[in-house]
Amino acid sequence: MTNETLKNYLNYLIIKGYNEETSHNRTGQVKEFLDFIKLSFEQINEEHINQYYYYLKQRPNKKYKEKTISINTVIHHIRAIELYFEMLYDTGKLKEPLQINISYPRNYQSDFKREFLSQDEIEKLYKVANPLETIIIHLAYGCGLRVAELVAVTKQDIYTKENILIVPKGKFNKRRIIPLTEKITQDLQEYLQSIEGKQNTFILNSKGRKMQEWTYNKILKQLLKRIKIKQDRINKLSIHSLRHSIATHLLQNGMELEKVRDFLGHNQLETTETYTHISMNQMRSIREHF
């Protein structure tokens, strides 16, 4: 049965969109866990996974015998196990999902350290923004556009009747369709009406040219000052941080990983999954600034 579920798990990961190498690595990590616990999957509970977590924290590094494996490696192992039990539940092998709650060290630093804003801070940005600044937040946060996509957006990319924005050439020349909320559609419609007959470019800088990344960054930093964000954080934040923010918030609010991947236009599910690895230090740091 174990070999069968491991084969099913490997296929499950590949179908979900993980690359082949990651899928094989994670299957191997789950096999290590099952060999360690020596129980069938039906018998395993949260306590067994906590027990394995504490074992991993003390396990020697295969390359550097005098050291233990890194906390990031430990977390990758636990994530593989989480996905394994998710697969068992999704395929009806388990009647109830297995809840896994691991208390990671307070000083844990993730290898994924992108800066983002909290949902409360995004709301504050919208409250202090003028109409043009609101449009910029809508595109960078509400639509999750990359910087290059934000700079390249045109009037022709926005379809207010259909409530969509089309990115004709994203990263790797991928075309994607982004759904718009009613509020974003309404604001975009009003903005398009306000510039009708005045300019061909969608967003202009003060010199009448297409707005570039540095100007978007400048506008965001001015907004951040208005909502009293501390300067040390402002220095770390950029317009691209709004894309990181929407990715984080969608996952925090329960959107499926695959749907977030499609929304952001990622090629690999692993890229999207990094947003689930934001360190507790980063989360605490955000709260300290409220």
With the CA atoms of 227, 228, 229 and 230 taken in that order, what torsion angle do they form, in degrees rounded to the nearest 10?
A: 170
* Catalytic residue check, 169: yes
Q: Pick the catalytic residue: 77, 240, 244, 249? A: 240
- Is 275 a residue of the active site? yes
Establish whether 104 is a catalytic residue.
no
Catalytic-role residue among 26, 76, 124, 243: 243
Residue 243 annotated to the active site: yes
72: part of which helix (H) or strand (E)? helix 71-90
Of 45, 81, 219, 47, give the one whose Cα is nearest residue 147: 219
Residue 4 burial class via C-beta count within 10 angstroms: exposed 0-12, middle 13-18, buried 19 and up? exposed
Choosing from 26, 77, 261, 266, which is the catalytic residue?
Answer: 266
Element (H, E) at 222: helix 213-226
Encoding tokens for residue 242?
Answer: 């709004």
Task: Select which of 113, 169, 259, 284 is catalytic.
Answer: 169
Note if 240 is an active site residue: yes
The H or E element containing residue 167 is strand 164-167
Residue 204 phi, psi dihedral angles, 5° rounding: -105, 155
Q: CA–CA separation, 140 vs 132, rounded Å? A: 13
Catalytic residue among 146, 176, 210, 277: 146
Name the strands in the sheet holding 158-159, side by side, starting at the edge strand that comes first in the sequence: 158-159, 164-167, 176-179
Contact indicator for 109, 279 with CB cutoff of 8 Å: yes
Structure-token pair, residue 219: 């506008």
Q: Give 176's DSSP letter.
A: E
Question: What number of other Cβ atoms are within 10 A of residue 132's Cβ?
Answer: 14
Q: Which two tokens stand for residue 277?
A: 């690895």
Nearest alpha-carbon partner for 221 in 157, 119, 77, 125:
125
Q: Please confirm, yes or no, whether 48 is among the known catalytic residues.
A: no
Active site residues per annotation: 146, 169, 240, 243, 266, 275
